[in-house]
């Protein structure tokens, strides 16, 4: 047979076999053969089905694991952000408590002219020239600060102004042996 003839006969034969199979199936004549084929291929089908199910479960587990890792990374990032926010809020809370204390100090004492200052220098060790213990603050004569003014915080007396510059002042601390404080007892009015 020539090649051209084979190319024509093979599709025709396949169509005829399919037609005969369809007719025999509709007539019910293939049921014994189909039953036998079903029994013979059942173990293979079960094996293929089991392997397919296991492969599907492995693939699903891999997808689940990838999703869980991604979610874990998201939660760790969110946790880190919340920890930073928590630290920031604690700092704000501490600052608010300090400001409340300062406000509570100035409200009952409206006659005090209160000015805020920051400590910009500390000399608690011995100064070779005069052995004084002092701190330097960032307000001076330009802010109305004068020599011998008291320096107080919400916790009490710190010292007194011993030297005044235009934008700074030196505070002689109350813990300095040369520092003196006049006091009046409330019950006897003795000094």
Residues 6 and 72 in one domain: yes
Question: Does any domain span residue 185?
Answer: no
Cβ proximity of 104 and 154 under 8 Å = yes
Question: Is this structure's pTM higher than 0.85?
Answer: no
Residues 123 and 55 in one domain: no
Which is higher by pLDDT, 120 or 150?
150
Last residue of a domain, one of 114, 130, 162: 114
Residues 99 and 168 in one domain: no
Domain count, the chain: 2
Closest CA to 133 of 182, 174, 161, 163: 174
CA separation for the pair 86, 107 (Å, rounded): 31
CA separation for the pair 5, 11 (Å, rounded): 11
Residues 98 and 132 in one domain: no
Residues 94 and 18 in one domain: yes
Last residue of a domain, one of 80, 98, 114: 114
CA separation for the pair 2, 6 (Å, rounded): 6
Q: Which pLDDT belongs to residue 58?
A: 87
Closest CA to 152 of 96, 97, 106: 106
Range of the domain at 15: 1-114
Average pLDDT of the segment spanning 168-173? 93
């Amino acid at each position: 047979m020539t090649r051209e003839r084979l190319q024509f006969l093979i599709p025709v034969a396949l169509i005829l076999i399919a037609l005969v199979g369809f007719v025999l199936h509709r007539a019910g004549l293939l049921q014994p053969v189909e039953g036998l084929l079903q029994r013979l291929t059942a173990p293979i089908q079960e094996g293929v089905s089991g392997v397919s199910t296991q492969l599907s479960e492995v693939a699903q587990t891999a997808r689940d694991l990838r999703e869980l890792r991604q979610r874990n990374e998201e939660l760790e990032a969110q946790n880190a952000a919340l920890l930073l926010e928590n630290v920031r809020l604690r700092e704000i809370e501490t600052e608010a408590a300090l400001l409340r204390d300062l406000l509570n100090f100035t409200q009952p004492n409206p006659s005090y002219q209160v000015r805020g200052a920051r400590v910009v220098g500390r000399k608690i060790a011995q100064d070779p020239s005069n052995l004084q213990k002092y701190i330097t603050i960032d307000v001076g004569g330009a802010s109305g600060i004068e020599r011998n003014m008291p320096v107080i915080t919400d916790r009490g007396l710190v010292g007194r102004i011993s030297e005044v510059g235009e934008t700074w002042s030196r505070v002689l601390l109350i813990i300095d042996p040369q520092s003196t404080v006049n006091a009046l007892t409330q019950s006897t009015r003795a000094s």
